[in-house]
Structure 1
Amino acid sequence: MNMETGTPIRVDIVSDVVCPWCVIGYHQLAKAAHETGIGIDVHWHPFELNPAMAEEGENLREHLAAKYGTTLEGSIKARARLSEMGAALGFEFNYADDMRMVNTFRAHQLIDWAEDQGRGHEMKQALFAAFFTRRENLKDPAVLGAVAEIIGLDRAAASDVLESEERAELVRQKESF
């Protein structure tokens, strides 16, 4: 809690669930807040790193090489560094050569739905773990429904939200903002 007022500080984070630096940054912030006794009230906002990603996605290493010019050696070093930093913060990165980068629009719709139930932050954390720790396909509605169930939300209701795309326009507006 804010030591002067006792009120948590609102923190707005614009992030994608496939962004490793977003995981690191959040966990560093949470650790600092805990160590200083300053409460934070985190609000996640949708951002797609790859909104035009092909339906089948792309190999993560190949995607990063094409997008940023990352070499194989550079990719290995970056993954090791991220894994080390994550471990120090209590988050497990479990990189593999066959990991795929996917479009995350459905995941953002799921977070938006979970937010209405007071569980958006938990959903964001669960999706980070699904992608980076368990290497799950965050484009797959069945995977997303299972993640909702992991945090105690109704799997069928989550699947209905994704199938109906009832959150699509709202999430696009939030991304645009």
Structure 2
Amino acid sequence: MTTIPFEARRFQSTAAYYARYRVPYPDRLIERIAEQTGLSAGERVLDLGCGPGQLGIAIARLTKAAVIGLDPEPEMLEAAEADAAAAGVDIAFVRGSSYDLDSRFSPLKMSVMGRSFHWMDRSATLKALDEITVADGCVALFGDRHISSTPDWRQAVNTLVKPLRRSAMPIANVGSGRIG
């Protein structure tokens, strides 16, 4: 397994794009996770690598859990704080990363990571979370696709976009984060 080197400011100046263009997590998905895990109002949830807070804000809004958002990028935390205030939820946002997990976050009922786990030292992160999570707690990873999804939606999009690539129309290069 390759570990991506940690760069605290990797996402500097991207908060506005994340907040505007990232697809939100469906309320029903979050409600189902809460039902399956028995998450109750007031229980502690850590949104690790929270970015602009989309996942943590939705969890706080829908479950009334005590959410903590942790991210190394100050601009992401500023956006998250503004969006949490606009949503009327009280979330504690902390500057830090998976390398900063310690007893101050304990006890956690749940830790969530929305499209962020791949940036972390996965083994060390899970070990640290295990030490601060209650016995019946869990870690939930959120991503863009179902683990066993078929057909691959990216392949379907690329098939549809292929004719446009031959035209003069600028299009997003699926999955690359660039236009052209």
Structure ID, larger Rg: 2
Indicate the TM-score class for this superposition, using the shorter chain for normalisation. Answer: under 0.3
Q: Which has more helix, going by share of residues?
A: 1
TM-score normalised according to structure 2 size: 0.25
Q: Which has the higher strand share?
A: 2
For normalisation by structure 1, the TM-score amounts to 0.26
